Amino acid sequence: MGLTKDFFIFLSQNKLLNNSAKKWGLKVGAQSVVAGTNIEEMVQSVKKLNEKGISATIDNLGEFVFEKEEATKATEQIIAVIEAIQENKLDAHISLKPTQLGLDIEYNFCLENLRKIVEVAHKYNIFINFDMEDHSHLQPSFDIIDELLRDFENIGTVIQAYFYQSQTNIEKYKGYRLRIAKGAYKEPESLAYQDKDEIDRNFMKLIEYHLLNGKFTSIATHDHNIINRVKAFVKEKKIPNEKFEFQMLYGFRKDLQLKLAEEGYNVCIYVPFGVDWYGYFMRRLAERPQNLNLVVKQMFNK
């Protein structure tokens, strides 16, 4: 299992394969977990979710960008997504990754790209979530968030439960809307829990902390054990449904997504789209090799 995870993480970061994949179209089953390659297809996917009472956080896929031109293009594309949310009156907001906007190129360049995006979103009252990437990008991402929080309030970020320092971070950002997730990257033992039970324990601790002390909590997981524990906790503490939502990835556990929405919980689906689907898709396989089942089903259900 460990080897499989490492293997898919390696594939997710392979630059040559990432670039080639842009020309392949949505292949090898990625269609089931990526909502199209362009804005029109994505809008149709989000409308279908909205009809079921489910909101969306839209990710115009891309990460680990090393050319300024590419980061500038990504900035323009994300602004086009914001305009599409507004025009189509979608119940949706944005998720983005700082490395897509130039964090590996130049800090100030990235900050200015993000400022442009947040400014347009602010005009329409649309929320922007800063996804959190691997540990090497953690501090610069928080630095950018701190700078933008001086001028805007429509932003929030992610706390990854596998990091030892997550409790410190959640306390610092408790005044904001936060997504809490287990963490998707391969991190060293010096920085992060490796054991599933320890990660789960810390995940639950952070969720409870933010539900009690924070602004709004997005609980990002497909783990029914965690979801059931959250349901019991909010009931016991009488935390109203408006204070939190469950988030899942597009195409995963669709029955559970619907069931939660029907039970009256807020459900928000992470909707990735675009030509840059490869790294995202490989990370999903790394997290759970059984996700390959989705791929196999897709191939036979044509």
Annotated binding site for FAD: 132, 160, 182-184, 196, 221-222
In angstroms, the Cα distances linking 33 to 21, 42, 49, 67, 129 are 15, 12, 14, 27, 20
Q: Rounded to the nearest whole angstrom, what is the least distance from the CB of residue 142 to ligand FDA in the complex?
A: 13
Q: Rounded to the nearest whole angstrom, what is the least distance from the CB of residue 69 to ligand FDA in the complex?
A: 25
Q: Rounded to the nearest whole angstrom, what is the least distance from the CB of residue 284 to ligand FDA in the complex?
A: 8
Nearer to ligand FDA, 252 or 265 (CB): 252
What's the CA gap between 246 and 227, in Å, rounded?
Answer: 8
Which residues carry out catalysis? 131, 179
What's the CA gap between 4 and 269, in Å, rounded?
Answer: 26
Query: To the nearest 10°, the Cα dihedral for 250, 243, 261, 166?
Result: 40
Q: Detail the residues annotated as belonging to a binding site for substrate.
A: 97, 283-284
Binding site for ligand FDA (CB under 6 A): 131-132, 158, 160, 181-185, 220-223, 247-249, 252-253, 270, 287-288
CB half-sphere exposure, 40, CA atoms < 13 A: 0
Non-local (6+) Cβ contacts of 206 within 8 A are 159, 161, 166, 167, 170, 180
Nearer to ligand FDA, 185 or 278 (CB): 185
Give me the count of residues in the chain.
Answer: 302
Burial class of 176 by CB neighbour count within 10 A (0 to 12, 13 to 18, 19+): middle
Q: Rounded to the nearest whole angstrom, what is the least distance from the CB of residue 238 to ligand FDA in the complex?
A: 25
Q: Which amino acid is at 220?
A: A
Q: Detail the residues annotated as belonging to a binding site.
A: 97, 132, 160, 182-184, 196, 221-222, 283-284
